[in-house]
Structure 1
Amino acid sequence: MAGTSNSLLTTPSEWIDYQLIDSGNGEKLERFGSITLIRPEPNANWPKSLSGEEWHQRHHARFVARSSTQGEWVKKSKTNPSDWQITYQVGPIDIKFRLALTKFKHVGIFPEQAANWQYIAASLRKMKSQTPKVLNLFAYTGGASLVARACGADVTHVDSIKQVVSWANQNQELSGLKDIRWVVEDAFKFVKRETKRGNGYHGIILDPPAYGHGPKGERWKLEDQIEEMIEQVITLLDPKEHFFILNTYTSGFSSENIEKLIKTHYPQVRNLETGDLYLRPSGKHSTGKEKLIMSNYGRFRKIL
């Protein structure tokens, strides 16, 4: 039946270079390749499974917040690196990411998004089009862009921050990929222009922040603009075969909101999935029951 969806809890299953070791008391202990970090995590509102001493022994750096938006990393040893690389495998291709300790507590990757990367790869592999066109909006350091390119797609990567797009390009080079189209622009403006041009895409990934600014000071506020953005991007989908992913990290913006948005602006949608992306601790002392919800998503595809 058109419009039917399944509300799901979804977690990535193909990580080797990432592990959520433990979480609790407002923090998470994570391994990124050879480096283990402690970062604040408000959603981890349960007791830690490991002792404080074990957390201390395992970590290389801890993020200490100095304001609501920024902070600093405190390294346990001066010899611990501030940037390094990890790998994510897509079929025969190793996607490589340069990670770094930023003042915003981020490191250059959102590991739970690998669940959406798996969906992208599976969708592209099933498509009849020889070179599917994929549009990645609010694309950050390019995880989804790299996965789509590794699967043979013609990829357009749009983000408003030049330094972030440069970072994504570094990841492309590290991964031995090429020919992603890099666009430093306000995502909303770009979509409106593509609509006027009559361009189309076989895949669209939309991962907007709660708030943001374009390169010319354009303001983005998800609650105010997401309706029009969805309305616009839906018109860019190839009518024969396509996939679409909407992901949000915004507090108070649930998977139910996403389902309503998609059904309102694309009432003929089929194969709609909505739910939460989560990470699950896999340390040997973890119960495995602590599902750390990281974001909400909605996605669907039409494959010939």
Structure 2
Amino acid sequence: MYSFLTTENWADYELVDSGNFEKLERFGQYYVARPEPQAIWDKHLPEQEWQRMANAVFTRDKGSQEKGQWKLKKGMPEQWFINYNYNGLKLRFRLGLSSFKHVGLFPEQDANWKFIYDTTRKLKTPQPKVLNMFAYTGAATLAAKAAGADVTHLDSIKQVNFWARDNMEASNLDNVRWIVEDAMKYARREVKRGNKYNGIILDPPSYGRGPNGEKWQLEDELNEMIKLCREMLDGTDYFLLINLYSMGFSAMVLDNLMRGTFGDMVKNEELGELYLHDKGERKLPLGTFFRFTSAES
């Protein structure tokens, strides 16, 4: 089934406007304006309204496609918290203004957090083992943990794992296994050990570095990573979710990889795109996903 999924009914988040390669978002009580390469249309709101509303505006450094600076209005903190609630799942996230325009959370992943939480609860294994690779600040980790999983959280950046731990504590959860490691090295090692997981979550970047300088290039590494996940995934009680934010990869690429690698394990599958809708009714595409599970709905 091909689906277009968006974030809905989240009191502490909204995409207010998008356009001219920017987006204006509300996180809790604060409004943040930052670059968005896919927003090629015109803004719905006038520029003066953006300037009035935005508590923090990110501007890229000259000659850089990634790093930049935040300009803050008086009273805008560099860190703050927001809440997330869904069907008994109650999480709390610490947000912060990074030099790479990120704030520590990708709100469009709301649809995937719901899938992780619901599906983990449906698995037959009493305490299913879930592996979250490229796990960032841990929203998906916490969704699985809150559903009763034994979770391994893997990210190559130590400071990001500390951030995820802060989110765990703020959400009144505990006992997550934190690992700072290159994802490919860890997956190869787990396959050699014969370790299995009931759930695997993947949200790999287009490009990245491991803790010892290991190179990750999505188009070069993804096929092998998917094959390693096939070896690590439990064969009877399982789910797998992969999300890609890369303008060069269509959902069809995921469809080919998943079906070719997992074969008959692909059950109750869902393929599609994540997006956010603004108040001007424009739909901002923010990635493709493929997910499947042995658990019946």
Q: TM-score range by the shorter chain?
A: over 0.9
**2:26 maps to which of 25, 31, 37:** 31
Query: TM (normalized to structure 2)?
Result: 0.96
**Aligned equivalent of 2:67:** 70
* Aligned residue runs from structure 1 range 1-304, under 5 A: 6-66=1-61, 67-77=64-74, 79-268=75-264, 269-281=266-278, 283=279, 286=280, 288=281, 290-303=282-295
Structure 1 length-normalised TM:
0.94
CA distance in 1, matches of 2:48, 2:199: 46
Paired amino acid for 2:16? I
For the 8 Å contact 2:277–2:284, the answer to whether it is kept is yes
Helix, strand or coil at the partner of 1:22: strand
Which deviations, in whole Å up to 9, do the C-alpha atoms of 1:70-119 show, x marking residues without a partner? 00001122x21111001112433421111001000000000001110011
Quote the offset at 1:264 in angstroms.
1.1
Name the residue aligned to 1:3: none
Contact kept? 1:100, 1:107, Cα under 8 Å: yes
Q: Is the 8 A contact 2:118 2:147 kept in 1?
A: no
CA offsets 1:102-141 (integer angstroms, 9 cap, x no match)? 0000000000011100111110121221111110000000
> Quick check: 1:90–1:150 contact (8 Å CA) kept in 2?
no
- Which SS does the other structure have where 1:179 is aligned? coil
Aligned partners of 1:115 and 1:14: how far apart in 2? Answer: 11
With a CA cutoff of 8 Å and minimum separation of 6, indicate the structure with the bigger relative contact order. 1
Q: CA separation in 2, counterparts of 1:105 and 1:234?
A: 34
Per-residue CA deviations over 1:244-263 (Å, capped at 9, x if unaligned) read 11111122111110111101
1:267 aligned counterpart, secondary structure: helix
* Equivalent-residue separation in structure 2 for 1:272 and 1:259 (angstroms): 10
Paired with 2:235 and 2:43, the residues of 1 have a C-alpha distance of 48
Residue 266 of structure 1 aligns to a residue in which SS? helix
| Cα distance between partner residues in 1 of 2:144 and 2:86 | 9
Structure 2: state its 5+ residue gaps: none
| In structure 2, distance between residues paired with 1:97 and 1:242 | 27
Contact 1:245 1:300 in 2 (8 A): yes
Counting aligned pairs with the same residue, the percent is: 48
Cα distance in 2 for residues equivalent to 1:157 and 1:8: 27
More off after superposition, 254-263 vs 7-16: 7-16
Secondary structure (helix, strand or coil) at the match of 2:275 reads strand
Distance 2:3 2:295 in 1: 21
Residue 73 of structure 1 aligns to a residue whose secondary structure is strand
In structure 1, what is the Cα distance between the partners aligned to 2:87 and 2:163?
Answer: 23
Q: Aligned pair count?
A: 293
Confirm or deny: 8 A CA contact 1:90 1:147 kept in the other structure.
Answer: no
Secondary structure of 2:232's counterpart equals coil
Distance, in Å, in 1 between the alignment partners of 2:88 and 2:251 is 33
Q: Are 1:227 and 1:261, in contact at CA under 8 Å, matched by a contact in 2?
A: yes
Question: Aligned Cα RMSD in Å?
Answer: 1.1
Q: Secondary structure at the match of 2:225?
A: helix
Q: Structure 2: how far apart are the matches of 1:173 and 1:29?
A: 29
Q: Identify unmatched segments of 5+ residues in structure 1.
A: 1-5
SS at match of 2:271: strand
